[in-house]
């Protein structure tokens, strides 16, 4: 019997059979593509950033007319005029859209309003800090987007690193995005703990995609190293919003300075001008210099080699992912030893190690939450202190991700608990006293890591734990110096 992909809790939340999600690509992900992906068992987001209300209403109606009740609408508050955004949200509520996807900065009031209307909110994030902010705002699920993604990229971390950090901190389901293009990619992120894989580039090259054929053909001709992360395509978006596209004359500077050149019309869409350096990608409805527009593509583009029906792509992804996942998750080979009790002994040893790693993970998760919430409470004029607390937070997040990966390498289940230290620390009202209390916790962690290293038999884990110990020692010294303490707090 062929292997099948698991139906994850995120599948149940979204209402799909397969943990395969069509990214809400602006312009490209229209009703025909969403319907085809949904019909095949996946979940699809309509890409409706900055789109007029009439188009949103029409596309939602078309998906429902195709017989599908579960789908999403993707909106981007930071890239949308405030008045239009408010109207888009009103419309989604009025249409009883089941799921809304959000991206870029976390706008808590938007999340709260959608939740209050009974809409499931999925927020894509590029950092663990934004993941925690989206979760605190009320997002029902998260998408961790690695820097390998095509289109707008919010974070700077590779997916494997970011996914581990977000999974270690999140209390809601997490999907993965960024450079995923085939079944092995899907299996890899599912094996790492993601509850779904989110794909974009692979779905651009489908028959139902609303991308122009010029864009699709460029994807087929591209190799793995042909993408660049650039701010050249910036019109319509906030500043410093990089996009991953196929390299072209625009990204090589052959069409002028993107920030200083006068606006030049290079195309049109039903009477709307398309400007050079805009974030518009070439769509079926556009004419003009299509190759000078943003040809979005993720790092997995080299695996895209044919234009296929979207349903067939979903089926192939699911079949290949299931087969590969079975290989990744098959029981480990028994420990080799001439002593008959050695396998049992070594399993017990690894279980004991996993318990100690989980204890550290719970403590680091507490530290990450304490530092994040403490930084949020700072007043203007405390920027030096903010920088210190955020640096400690970033380290805590990094060690959470490292510990989660270590646990998975042992075949152990990472703990989802947050250490009791969190509540005790947050009950200390004075920030200076709270930092001193936090440093005592840092000292405890450093001592536990030092003890663990002295007994560690898994040499492949040593480098990460060594770095964690050094990081805690460095942060102890920094915070002690800030607090005016001469000796480390133990």
pLDDT tens digits, residue range 317-371? 999 999 999 988 765 544 445 555 556 778 888 999 999 999 999 999 999 999 9
Q: How far apart are CA 101 and CA 73, in angstroms?
A: 6
Q: What angle do CA 422, 424, 429 make, to 5 degrees?
A: 105
Other beta carbons within 10 angstroms of residue 34's beta carbon come to 30
Model confidence band, residue 487 (pLDDT cutoffs 50, 70, 90) = low
| H or E element, residue 165 | helix 159-169
Rounded Cα gap, residues 142 and 135, in angstroms? 8
pLDDT tens sequence across 424-479? 999 999 988 999 999 999 999 999 999 999 999 999 999 999 999 999 999 999 98
Secondary structure (3-state) at 268 = strand
Rounded to the nearest 5°, which phi and psi values hold at 175? Answer: -105, 165
Provide the token pair at 240. 């410093």
Average pLDDT, the chain: 93
Spatial separation of the C-alpha atoms in residues 486 and 483, rounded to whole Å: 9
pLDDT of 386 > 80? The answer is yes
N-to-C CA span, the chain = 57
Q: What radius of gyration do the chain's Cα atoms show?
A: 24
Q: What is the pTM of this model?
A: 0.91
More confident residue, 358 or 488: 358
Nearest to 198 by CA among 63, 314, 26, 76: 314
Nearest C-alpha neighbor of 244 from the set 144, 153, 178: 153
Residue of 376 and 157 predicted with greater confidence: 157
Task: Report the distance separating Cα 295 and Cα 246, nearest Å.
Answer: 6
The C-alpha atoms of residue 123 and residue 115 are separated, in whole angstroms, by 12
Calculate the CA 209 to chain-centre distance.
23
pLDDT for 261 equals 87
pLDDT confidence band for 209 (50 / 70 / 90): very high
What is d(CA 337, CA 183) in angstroms, rounded to the nearest whole number? Answer: 36
Mean pLDDT in residue range 133-138:
96
Please state the rounded mean pLDDT for residues 262-274: 95
**What pLDDT score was predicted for residue 1?**
45
């Amino acid at each position: 019997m062929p292997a099948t992909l698991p139906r994850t809790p995120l599948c149940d939340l979204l209402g799909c059979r397969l943990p395969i999600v069509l990214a809400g690509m602006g312009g490209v992900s229209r009703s025909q593509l969403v319907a085809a992906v949904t019909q095949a068992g996946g979940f699809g987001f309509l890409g409706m950033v900055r789109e007029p209300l009439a188009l949103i209403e029409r596309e939602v109606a078309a998906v429902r007319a195709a017989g599908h009740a579960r789908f999403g609408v993707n909106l981007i508050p930071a890239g949308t005029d405030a008045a239009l955004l408010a109207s888009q949200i009103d419309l989604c509520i009025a249409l009883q859209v089941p799921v809304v996807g959000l991206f870029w900065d976390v706008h808590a009031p938007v999340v709260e309003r959608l939740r209050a209307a009974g809409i499931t909110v999925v927020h894509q994030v590029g950092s663990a800090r934004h993941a925690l902010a989206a979760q605190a705002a009320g997002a029902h699920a998260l998408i961790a987007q690695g820097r390998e993604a095509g289109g707008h990229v919010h974070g700077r971390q590779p997916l494997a690193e970011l996914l581990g950090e977000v999974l270690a901190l999140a209390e809601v389901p997490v999907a993965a995005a960024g450079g995923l293009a085939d079944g092995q990619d899907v299996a890899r992120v599912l094996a790492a703990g993601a509850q779904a894989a989110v794909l974009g580039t692979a779905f651009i090259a489908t028959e139902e995609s609303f991308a122009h054929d010029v864009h699709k053909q460029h994807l087929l001709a591209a190799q793995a190293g042909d993408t660049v992360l650039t701010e050249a395509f910036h019109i319509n978006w906030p500043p410093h919003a990089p996009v991953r596209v196929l390299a072209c004359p625009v990204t090589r500077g052959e069409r002028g300075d993107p920030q200083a050149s006068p606006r030049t019309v290079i195309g049109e869409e039903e009477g709307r001008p398309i400007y050079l350096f805009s974030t518009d990608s070439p769509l079926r409805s556009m004419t003009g210099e299509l190759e000078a527009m943003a040809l979005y593509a993720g790092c997995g583009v080299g695996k895209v080699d044919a234009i296929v029906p979207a349903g067939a792509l979903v089926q192939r992804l699911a079949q290949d992912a299931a087969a590969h996942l079975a290989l990744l998750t098959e029981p480990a080979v028994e420990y080799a030893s001439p002593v008959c009790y050695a396998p049992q002994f070594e399993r017990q040893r690894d279980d004991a190690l996993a318990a100690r790693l989980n204890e550290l993970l719970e403590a680091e998760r507490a530290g990450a939450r304490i530092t994040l919430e403490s930084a949020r409470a700072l007043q203007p004029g405390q920027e030096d202190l903010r920088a210190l607390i955020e640096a400690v937070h970033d380290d805590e997040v990094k060690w959470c991700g490292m510990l989660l990966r270590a646990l998975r390498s042992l075949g152990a289940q990472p703990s989802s608990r947050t250490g009791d230290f969190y509540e005790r620390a947050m009950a200390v009202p004075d920030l200076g006293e709270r930092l001193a209390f936090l440093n005592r916790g840092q000292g405890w962690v450093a001592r536990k890591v030092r003890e663990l290293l002295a007994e560690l038999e898994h040499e492949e884990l040593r480098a990460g734990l060594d770095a964690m110990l050094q990081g805690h020692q460095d942060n102890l010294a920094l915070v002690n110096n800030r607090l005016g303490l001469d000796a480390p707090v133990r």
